[in-house]
Amino acid sequence: MKKTIITMFALTAFAGTAFAADIIELPASMGKVAFPHKKHQEMLKDCKKCHEKGPGKIAELGKDWAHKTCKGCHTEMKKGPTSCKDCHKK
Q: Which of 7, 44, 52, 53 binds ligand HEC (CB under 6 A)?
A: 44
Give 41: exposed, middle or buried? Use CB within 10 Å, 0-12, 13-18, 19+.
Answer: middle
State the nearest-atom distance from the C-beta of 52 to ligand HEC, in Å. Answer: 10
Binders of ligand HEC among residues 8 to 37 (CB under 6 A) are 18, 20, 24, 26-30, 33, 35-37
Q: How far is CA 71 from CA 8, 12, 25, 51, 55, in A?
A: 39, 35, 16, 16, 20
Residue 22 CA to residue 20 CA, distance in Å, equals 6
Binders of ligand HEC among residues 60 to 89 (CB under 6 A) are 61-63, 66-67, 69-71, 73-74, 77, 79-84, 87-88
State the nearest-atom distance from the C-beta of 62 to ligand HEC, in Å. Answer: 4
